[in-house]
Structure formats: structure tokens, C-alpha cells
A and B are shown apart, each in its own frame.
Chain A
């Protein structure tokens, strides 16, 4: 779908809204792409009780970690789509040519990506949480950490997606580049749930996750935009 030309008179916020709305519209015309990360999420979670142990005690202890890792992997899987189609049909070049700052438009695209993948994962988490025998309190905390954590995953992942755009075997490379950067988010995400399970206060953990989010929100779009320009000049 062609993007409407945005002239100079259009404010940056309006441009962001337009990009966001367009990404949503495009995504809902290809609904299978929306479902795939969710199916992947559920399948990965299913592997652990079958592959490791269906014991309730094990699942209770490892459940939060399993769900976090599965969410992380499905975000990673969906990142390839973030810029790929727009890159293939030339929309991305038009975005770069807009008078509005590219990092804002990238931020809008990343936010759309989170609403389409991260948010559904959070919404699905309570169901899977019950399946791995987490108690209600843990599930609530887990959902909260995922709610703060998955936007960070999308924002950092956008950098990797932009860097590997148009390369051969981009998918594997993307994972190699991004997984080390995901580790701190994972540590704090699961750490929060573990602390809650031990009855420890979780405020500090959530505050740190929030700090990651603020840091990623402010810095990652610049890196993604710079990487996009490099990738486009490369092609």
C-alpha cells in the first residue's frame, strides 16, 4: 500500500500517527502474520513441560522464565517483518525522504510493531501462566513485567532489523546481534517474578525495567534510523 505523501506542513506528530495507522492497516490485511508469533509463543511454552518435566513444582519455579524466553523468541521471530515488506516495495525509501525526522517515523513503526506482537503476547500470558501452574500473583507480576519489557524488546530489535535489512541470512544474523542486548531485560523481567514469589518487594525491579524502557525509547530510535539509512544506501 502506498503511503500518502506527507508535505512539510504536516507536523511530526501527525506524520507519526499516519505511519502508525498505516502499519496497523497493512497488518490487519495480512492477519496470518499477526497470528504466527502468538502460535510460536504457545508452541515454545508447550515444549518445556513435554521436553523437560511436567512436574508442577518444576513448572512453578521455571514458568516465568519459560514464558519470558518464549516471548523474547517470538518477538525476535517477528522482527524480520518490521521493515522487510516496506524495504522490498520501496515504501521505506519514501519514509526516509519525508521532511519529518526519520527517528520519529521509526518510533511510530516500532510502536505499531509492539501493539501488533508484544501486546498480544502479554494478553495471552495469563492463559499460559495458568497452564504452567503459576499462582495468580505471579501471573499478574509476570504480565506487568512483559508489559514494560516487550516494548524494550521491540525497540532494541528494531536496531537489529534495520542493520540486517537486505542481507543474506538476515534472520540468523539478527538473532546473533540482538540476543546479547536482550539479556539484561530478560534478567530483570524474570528477576521481578522470582522476587515476588519470594515475597520480596518488586518496586525496584519494576523501576529498573521502566528505566530500560525510557532509555530504549529515547535512544533506540536514533540508532534504528541511522541503521536504516546505512542499509538503504547499501542496496
Chain B
């Protein structure tokens, strides 16, 4: 266990593992997401109330789902950064934050597109929407802080502190906005309470969620590899990898 933990701290070791893992993640992810989307968008039965417009759920829910869990993953990595000073954890936070930002944006955007035919409005200050918007801001703050600090180690620890402070805030945001909302208007639209869906609907949905998770894994590996190469560009193994000065020696 501890040896594994120790190895996980080595960028070189991770680089190799990621390279072996990535094709699997990519192929399986594309298969799952492709199957889920094709099934969901083309073959799943129509919703009796919303007709075809509900089909955006197959994009909306996976991205919203992942947007939140990416933040939680980043928070776990932030703990590792602060406690064990593990380089890879910080590389993960840096690699995942922009992906999380984009996923949050996708879920907000698809939510707006879905909201127009269903609720009759692009945007509503509903609990869910507002908390996702705050999540978008949190991601933005993490990225901005990371870009602003030049020193790599300081940036890693500062960003880790910010991510952790943000995660304390996430349940607070969720519940506070819930209560705040009930005061002004009853929650007419709840995305959390799923209607009892038939299997032809939830199976493709589950497939898309799993597929997006796998694709996120692939993308995170790719971005982490890039970041590792940038950081370790002066080390021997990276130069060997690209045969820099290889011929001369």
C-alpha cells in the first residue's frame, strides 16, 4: 500500500501508467457515451409531457453530475497536496479545474436550452441553477489564482487552500439557496427528484454518465501528462523520451 502511495508521487511512474491507461479510457468512454447518446437521442421513447425536448437530459445530467464530482475530486487532491505535498495531486487539480469549468458551463447552457421549452424561460433563480452558477465562479477563482502565482509550489498550496475553503461552502450553498428559494417561491421545478423513469430512459442516461466519467479520466490523464512534461522538462527521463541530446551522448 505504502509503496503504491510512494510510487504515486513519482511523475515518471504516473506518466507511464497514464500512457497505458489512456487508450482504454478513451475507447470505453467513447463507446459508453456514444451508445448512451445514440440510444437516448434516437431510440429512447418520447416523454409523454415534454415530447422530444427532454432528450437534452442525456447531455445535461452527465455534465452536471461530473461538474460536481470533479470539484470533490479536486478537493480530495487538495488535501493530499497540503498534507503530503504530493506533486501529482497538485498536477491533477491544475489539470481538472478547466475541465470542471467547461462541464459546469455545459450543464448550465444545456439547462438553459432545456428550460426555454419546458419552463418558458432561459434562466430562473432556482436553487439548483444558482448553486451551479456559484460552482462555475469557484472553478473560475481556482483557475485565476493558479494563473496569478508564478511560483509552482506556492501556487499549488494556495490553490489547495482555496479549493478546500470552497468545498466547505458547497453544502452551505446548496441548502441555503434551497431555503432562500422556498421563501420567495415554491420549488416548482426540481431536477433532483427524478420521475420514475422507464428503463429505456435511465439505462442510456447511466451509460452516458459512465462514458463521460471515463472520458474525463482520459482527458485528465492527457492534461496531467502535458503538465508533467512541462514541469519535468529538464529531467533526464523527459529528455530521453523525446531523444533530446540523445544522439550526442
Contacts and interface: CB of A to CB of B under 8 A. Distances in A.
Interface of A: 156, 159, 163-164, 167-169, 173, 176-177, 179-181, 183-184, 187-188, 191, 194-195, 208, 212, 215, 219, 223, 226-227, 230-231, 233-234
A187 B177 contact: yes
Interface of B: 82, 134, 137-138, 140-141, 144-145, 148-149, 151, 153-154, 157-158, 161-162, 164-166, 168-169, 172-173, 176-177, 179-180, 183-184
A191 B172 contact: no
Nearest to A232: B154
Given A159-B161, A227-B158, A164 B148 contact: yes
Interface pairs A-B: 6 shortest CB-CB: A234-B154, A180-B137, A184-B176, A177-B141, A187-B180, A230-B157
Q: Point out which of A169, A184, A219, A227 has the most chain B C-beta atoms below 10 A from its C-beta.
A: A184
A226 B148 contact: no
Contact of A167 (B149, B157, B176): B149
Contacts of B141: 176-177, 180
Q: Point out which of A187, A194, A195 has the most chain B C-beta atoms below 10 A from its C-beta.
A: A187
18 contacts: A163-B161, A168-B148, A176-B140, A177-B141, A177-B162, A179-B137, A180-B137, A181-B166, A184-B169, A184-B172, A184-B173, A184-B177, A191-B180, A194-B184, A208-B176, A230-B154, A233-B154, A234-B149
Nearest to B141: A177
A208 B177 CA distance: 13
Nearest to B137: A180
B152 to A, nearest CB: 10
A183 B149 contact: no
Contacts of B154: 230-231, 233-234
A234 to B, nearest CB: 4
A67 to B, nearest CB: 17
Contacts of B180: 187-188, 191
Contacts of A164: 145, 148
A187 B134 CA distance: 13
Contacts of A187: 176-177, 180
Contacts of B162: 159, 163, 177
B144 A176 contact: yes
B179 A191 contact: yes
Contacts of A159: 161-162, 165
Contacts of B140: 176
Given A191-B180, A195-B183, A227 B161 contact: yes
A194 to B, nearest CB: 7
Nearest to A159: B165
A179 B173 CA distance: 12
Q: Point out which of A163, A188, A208 has the most chain B C-beta atoms below 10 A from its C-beta.
A: A163
B27 to A, nearest CB: 37
Contacts of A231: 154, 158
A219 B172 CA distance: 14
A180 B157 contact: no
Contacts of B134: 180, 183
A168 B149 CA distance: 9
Contact of B161 (A180, A226, A234): A226
Nearest to A194: B183
A223 B169 contact: no
Given A173-B144, A173-B148, A234-B151, A181 B165 contact: yes
A188 B153 CA distance: 37
A231 B149 CA distance: 9
B96 to A, nearest CB: 18
B17 to A, nearest CB: 30
A65 to B, nearest CB: 12
A232 to B, nearest CB: 9
